[in-house]
Amino acid sequence: MAKGPRPLQEMAALQANPRTSSTLISESARRPSPRRPPVRVRCSATPSPPRSYRITLLPGDGIGPEVVSVAKDVLYLAGSLEGIEFRFREVPVGGAALDATGVPLPEETLTTAKESDAVLLGAIGGYKWDANEKHLKPETGLLQLRAGLGVFANLRPATVLPQLVDASTLKKEVAEGVDIMVVRELTGGIYFGKPRGFGSNDKGEDIGFNTEIYSVPEIDRIARVAFEVARKRRGKLCSVDKANVLEASMLWRKTVTALASEFSDVEISHMYVDNAAMQLIRNPKQFDTIVTNNIFGDILSDEASMLTGSIGMLPSASIGASGPGLFEPIHGSAPDIAGQDKANPLATVLSAAMLLRYGLGEEQAAKRIEDAVINTLNKGFRTGDIFSEGTTLVGCKRMGAEVLKSVDSQATVAAALH
Ligand code: IPM
Ligand code: MG
């Protein structure tokens, strides 16, 4: 039987406090889920009541289908080892949906997503649709999906794994140990604010305009998630805004400051976004949890991802107050390498782990996936984006096969122990 979605605060509270980058994944996963007592590793020989979930798969465009196919297999195997059953349903979004139905988010896609327990998305967009009018752009489909699911809190971890520290463009001593969580507001701000559009000014010149707008409740709910996340990490929250110029940011800062008294165990600081962009490169280790609006979060999370060496490694979780969460890699559709078996599937595989943890509360299965990814990297397998001298270059499918092998070997070891 499918469980309902986890309450947002409880999900945020699951975010661990990894002390070193080497332990981000395994240590966070090692903490037992507060929802259920710690369990011994189960294997197929120890039957437990089956849990069944409906997962909506949205492969999308470019490398999306390749990476989602790998993540689906990994999810399936890790789940089956924990007695979890998945029912997958694949529906189109973005360019794929435009080609199939004429719109970037068909009604059936949104309904299917809403009726499921969690949604796993690949990527959307591509050259083919770049010149489309706004309502027919693949990106519009993604924004409609986020709004339709009400997933206002977007968690984007950026962790420098010791195995990949050489893949960072920063000096080793700057990158080593970086472990940041960007909490991005996802359904408000300038992305959705009205008025917006095209028009002309009094000189008759064409103009385009958008509105950066936030209400106190919108700021309050995202800030609460961020405080909860920070509380479970290293207890430091930096709120990023442009309160020296923008009214929406002034209200943002006032609201976050007011809330801080409810979280006296969290050390709050505020930073202007231009300074934050600089500090992320200068001394990224000063950051623990960052909370920011939609557009600053879009930009800063790409920047933070590059500290880790490759955007191809980074997952994300988008969560609302109720209903299914949306889980997606933060890289885009990479049309230049699509269909060539060159994509790094690990960001999507790790998004599947976030889906298990934050979306379904299946901590043990999430840990299986994360451990398998670490194990695969430890064996030296690398896709092109994270390749360095002395490692083994593999494609998307082989990387997926190696992760599956690692998940499988956990089962073998567990069976041997029983
Ligand atoms: C992201 C992307 C999207 C965004 C685009 C594809 C609409 O850049 O998820 O960061 O701007 O939010
Ligand atoms: Mg982006």
Other C-beta atoms lying within 10 Å of the C-beta of residue 208: 8
Contact between residue 133 and residue 164 where contact means Cβ atoms under 8 Å apart: no
Which ligand 1 atom sits nearest the alpha carbon of residue 294?
Answer: 12
Report which protein residue has its CA nearest ligand 1's atom 9: 330
The pair phi, psi for residue 188, each rounded to 5°, is: -135, -155
Query: What global pTM score does this model have?
Result: 0.86
> Is the C-beta atom of 61 inside 6 A of ligand 1?
no
Output the DSSP codes for 326-380: EE--SS---GGGTTTT----HHHHHHHHHIIIIIT--HHHHHHHHHHHHHHHHTT
Q: Which pLDDT tens digit goes with each residue over 269-320?
A: 999 999 999 999 999 999 999 999 999 999 999 999 989 988 889 999 999 9
Q: Which pLDDT tens digit goes with each residue over 377-386?
A: 999 999 999 9
Q: Which architecture does CATH list for 1-18+36-152+320-418?
A: 3-Layer(aba) Sandwich (3.40)
Q: Which of 53, 76, 191, 214 is catalytic?
A: 191
> Is the C-beta atom of 298 inside 6 A of ligand 1?
yes
Which ligand 1 atom sits nearest the alpha carbon of residue 142?
Answer: 7
| Residue 298 annotated to the active site | yes
Structure tokens at 28: 């966070």
H or E element, residue 122: strand 118-123
Domain boundaries, the chain: 1-18+36-152+320-418, 156-310
Which ligand 1 atom sits nearest the alpha carbon of residue 298?
Answer: 10
* Separation between Cα atoms, residue 372 and residue 375, nearest integer Å: 5
Q: Are 1-18+36-152+320-418 and 156-310 equal in CATH topology?
A: yes
> Is the C-beta atom of 328 inside 6 A of ligand 1?
no
Domain spanning 156-310: which superfamily?
Isopropylmalate Dehydrogenase (3.40.718.10)
Q: Which of 3, 134, 172, 274 is catalytic?
A: 274
Ion ligand 2: residues, CB < 5 A: 298
* Separation between Cα atoms, residue 50 and residue 83, nearest integer Å: 5
The rounded Å distance from CA 85 to ligand 2 centre is 32
The pair phi, psi for residue 151, each rounded to 5°, is: -90, 90
Cis previous bond, 50, omega within 30 = no
Q: Which pLDDT tens digit goes with each residue over 44-53?
A: 444 556 699 9
